[in-house]
Amino acid sequence: MANIGDNIPQAFPSRQNGVLRGVKVAILVVGSVALDSVETPFGKVEDALGGSATYFGVSASSFTPVKLVAAVGTDFPAKHVDLLKKHKIDTTGLEKMEGKTFRWAGVYETNMNNRRTLSTCLNVFEKFSPKIPESYQDIPYLFLANIDPDLQYDVLDKVSRRKRPKLIALDTMNLWIDIKKESLIKVLKKADILLINESEARQFAQEHNLVKAANIILAHGPKAVVIKQGEYGALYFSKTTVFSAPAYLLESVCDPTGAGDSFAGGFFGYLAKKGKLDDKTVRQAMIYGTVMGSFCCQGFSLDKLCKISQKDIQKRYKEIKELTVF
């Protein structure tokens, strides 16, 4: 029985000046780049920038350079691409396809833990076949953000054909558990870490108890699972470690859309930056995930996430540390 740190220590040789075995440390992310229409008790936005890869990328870019693989339609505003570039996200792999950009619409109740999806229009993602640019080869960290698990597998397979990344993590959602569970299980078998919501963990495992659900998920192959609990924090389970991160206490939440992806960006971005998977680093990464998720909730779309500085991130990290010391 080993945790991820024990299982793949050789996957994290010592890193000097951000360079791992001569390869510049970076994360390759595949996921959705979207136009979201969202309504919360605090207001609404239409066709605002969203998508799992967008939130993940902007969040992770505070820790590690990010290279994006995704598709948008001809209607995707150029200013959104500029925003990604401003965060030093490599958009060489962002394909502009004939047709419309992926769109998602959702509405939140007064209790913003409850969200209803109003519509999901795959649009260009229906015909998307991910291409990995030559300049993205041999990237040591792969994040498969929430998207059709068949596309996640396709990228994982293409990238690993040359050389398996040092660390592979993925996120998913209830839709794919409903309609593509077998495809999701196929991706899980090849990944190191799954990030999933509490309700989705229960749905996937067909088990209400979260400890049992985590063990059922681990039996499918990943070495660790992070169960996100919204305003109640997040749990980390490996075969030997359990860690509970509280949520940052916000006085007001404007729009939680993308908080899970922003958590993933902080968590995975920090792991990539440190190049280590020991227990301490994983726990710190959980707190950086919490910090980034909390910033995301403070504005619609990426409004708040785009405005924060390293100083803001460190300040909030320290506040969470103080909140939990006893």
265: amino acid identity, one letter: G
Closest alpha carbon to 30 in 129, 97, 96 = 129
The set of residues, in sequence order, having a beta carbon less than 8 Å from that of 16 and lying 6+ positions away, is none
Q: What region, left, alpha or beta, does residue 125 occupy, with left being phi > 0 and alpha being psi -120 to 50 degrees?
A: alpha
Q: For ligand AMP, which stretch binds (CB under 6 A), given 91-99, 184-192, 210-218, 253-261?
A: 253-261
Q: For ligand AMP, which stretch binds (CB under 6 A), given 11-19, 20-28, 48-56, 239-247?
A: 48-56
Looking at the Cβ atoms of 20 and 177, the one nearer to ligand AMP is: 177
252, 258, 260, 264: CA torsion to nearest 10: -120
Candidate list 65, 93, 140, 260; residue touching ligand AMP; CB under 6 A: 260
Site string for ligand AMP, 50-89 (x = CB under 6 A): xxx-------------------------------------
Residues 188-217 within binding reach of ligand AMP (CB under 6 A): none
Q: How far is the CB of 296 from ligand AMP (least distance, A)?
A: 8
Distance CA 84, CA 132 (A): 18
Residues 82-141 within binding reach of ligand AMP (CB under 6 A): 104, 120
Strands 34-40 and 102-108, how do they pair? Answer: parallel
Candidate list 146, 152, 284, 294; residue touching ligand AMP; CB under 6 A: 146
Q: How far is the CB of 166 from ligand AMP (least distance, A)?
A: 25
Residue 191 class from Cβ within 10 Å (0-12 exposed, 13-18 middle, 19+ buried)? buried
Sites of contact with ligand AMP (CB under 6 A):
32, 34, 36, 50-52, 104, 120, 146-147, 173, 175, 257-261
